[in-house]
């Protein structure tokens, strides 16, 4: 029977075991890092979805172009009515000034 060199066999087995442990450690670390990255991305997506939902709500609450057009028409109508009101008040103001002047002059005469 040949004599077996157990030293070389133990060294070879230790080398194989070291290589296996190195690959297993790196694989488990990269898996944990990937899981953390996925969790971080999931959190970011949730935040973005929440912000996007808020923006959608704000856009939904904004008036439409038809509503803005109706407001503009209403404001134009009010401006026209104010102009007519001002034109009607101008002669009344002049009359009030004349009556006031008359009353002031007649009180001086007494």
Could you read off the pLDDT of 26-56 as tens digits, one per residue? 777 777 777 888 888 889 888 888 888 888 8
**Which comes out higher in pLDDT, residue 97 or 6?**
97
Does 75 lie in the same domain as 57?
A: no
Residues 6+ apart with CB under 8 A from 63: 71
Q: What confidence tier does 1 reach under pLDDT thresholds 50, 70, 90?
A: very low
Does 69 lie in the same domain as 53?
A: no
Q: What is the pLDDT of residue 3?
A: 62
Percent of the chain with pLDDT over 90: 37
Q: What is the pLDDT of residue 36?
A: 84
Structural domain total, the chain = 2
What integer best gives the mean pLDDT of the chain?
86
Distances in whole angstroms, Cα of residue 40 to Cα of each of 16, 35, 43, 54: 36, 9, 5, 21
Domain that holds residue 1: 1-62
């Amino acid at each position: 029977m040949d004599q077996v060199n157990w030293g070389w066999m133990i060294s070879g087995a230790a080398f194989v075991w070291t290589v296996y442990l190195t690959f297993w450690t790196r694989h488990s670390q990269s898996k944990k890092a990937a899981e953390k990255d996925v969790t971080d991305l999931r959190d970011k997506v949730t935040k973005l979805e929440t912000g996007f939902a808020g923006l959608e709500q704000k856009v939904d609450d904004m008036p439409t172009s038809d509503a803005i057009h109706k407001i503009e028409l209403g404001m134009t109508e009010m401006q026209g009515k104010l102009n007519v009101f001002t034109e009607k008040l101008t002669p009344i103001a002049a009359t009030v000034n004349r009556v006031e002047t008359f009353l002031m002059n007649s009180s001086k005469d007494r």
